Structure 1
Amino acid sequence: MADNAQLIRSRELYGGVPYAYAATAPADARLVHLAGACPLNADGSTAAVGDYEGQTLTCLENLRIALGDAGAELTDVVFLRVLVASNRQQDLSAAWATVRTAFGDHDAPGTLFGVTVLGWPDQLVEIEAIAAVR
């Protein structure tokens, strides 16, 4: 497991959240800012139309590829932003649960947003990330 991201948990804030409250990167690391990973197949079509979990899985796979191209992996992520086109908390929770499963013990800090619409036809989920790489 990479040690580029140091996750920080507060003893004074609620401990039952599924993420660290903060993260730092080593002074000698470069930050990699990733564009939002979208649920797009290689041919440009939208994957898993109508399926929040399926689209989240595709976003995560595309995020892994972009991270790899930058010399990073999920354990190098210091911040996440998960956008879900829904006003229903259960849809946001489904996407977040899928993200948390993929990240495992590396519970990078992140923000979950419910949004009105995303950029691609039939798109329900998008995942942005910042990673630290040495």
Structure 2
Amino acid sequence: MSNSVQLIRNDQLSDVAEYAYAAAVTAPPRTVFTAGACPLDRDGATVAVGDYAGQARQVMANLVTALAGAGAGLADVAKTTVYVASSRQADLVTAWEVIRDAFAEHDHDPPSTLLGVAVLGYDDQLVEVESVAVVG
């Protein structure tokens, strides 16, 4: 876990969520706001068309790259917002499991909001993740 981000749990809230309910910045921070990471390859083509898990994997790889460019990593993330182009809860869960597992590799589960939306910005895009990270 980042030394600058303290994940906060509360035993008065359900433990069913697979993330902390809040995060606090604990050091003089440098805050990094990422654009939504999309399932695009280096050439700008959407990968894994029709595959929520495959797109979520590419999204997380792109998020890691964007954070690294700002001197941050997944363990520095204080909050995410996950957008999934579907009205089916199962599709949201499929994408979420990939995203959750990427953070679990760093023993980090920052607060997150998971939303089903009508459409995302690129052709055939199903998943997008934006984040706020803190580097102390």
Structure-2-length-normalised TM-score: 0.96
Name the % identity: 54
What do residues 30-88 of structure 1 show as CA deviations (whole Å, max 9, x unaligned)?
A: 11100000000000100100000000000000000000000000000000000000000
> Unpaired segments of 5 or more residues in structure 2?
none
1:37 maps to what in 2? Answer: 37
1:111 equivalenced with 2:108 (yes/no): no
Q: Is the 8 Å Cα contact of residues 4 and 27 (structure 2) preserved in structure 1?
A: no
Letter in 2 for 1:53: A
Structure-1-length-normalised TM-score: 0.97
- Count how many residue pairs are aligned between Structure 1 and Structure 2: 134
What do residues 105-133 of structure 1 show as CA deviations (whole Å, max 9, x unaligned)?
A: 20100000000000000000000000001
The separation in 2 between residues aligned to 1:63 and 1:89, in whole angstroms, is: 23
1:87 maps to what in 2? Answer: 87
The separation in 1 between residues aligned to 2:11 and 2:100, in whole angstroms, is: 21
1:128 equivalenced with 2:125 (yes/no): no
Runs of 4+ with deviation above 6 angstroms:
none
Letter in 2 for 1:14: S
Deviation, structure 1 residue 15:
1.4
1:76 maps to what in 2? Answer: 76
